[in-house]
């Protein structure tokens, strides 16, 4: 629960996603996500699907590295 990855990896993954899909699409994704799930719950899989829909990209490999694989991914920059 108190591992550093819990606090840093999520933010790093979001920044990597913004870098991957572009700021405009990332902001659209964020606003849509918040509006769609206000006062409710959602899954990681739903977020991944929305990100792919809004970006128009296949992000399976990206999310596999950043969300479903243990350890910190290699730098993407």
pLDDT computed for residue 22 by the predictor = 97
Task: Look at residue 72 in the predicted model and tell me its pLDDT.
Answer: 74
Query: Quick one: pLDDT at residue 34?
Result: 96
How far is Cα 60 from Cα 20, in angstroms, rounded to an integer? 13
Q: Over its length of 77 residues, how does the chain's per-residue pLDDT go in tens digits?
A: 455 556 677 888 999 999 999 999 999 999 999 999 999 999 999 999 999 999 999 999 999 999 888 877 776 55
The single-letter DSSP state of residue 74 is P
The Cα 36–Cα 65 span in angstroms is 26
Is the entire prediction scored with pTM above 0.75?
A: yes
pLDDT at 11: 85
């Amino acid at each position: 629960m108190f591992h550093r990855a819990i606090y840093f990896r999520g933010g790093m993954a979001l920044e990597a996603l913004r870098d991957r899909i572009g700021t405009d699409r990332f902001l659209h994704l964020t606003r849509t996500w918040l509006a769609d799930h206000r006062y409710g719950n959602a899954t990681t899989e739903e977020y991944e699907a929305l990100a792919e829909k809004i970006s128009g990209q296949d992000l399976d490999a990206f999310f596999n590295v950043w969300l479903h694989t243990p350890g910190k991914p290699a730098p993407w920059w």
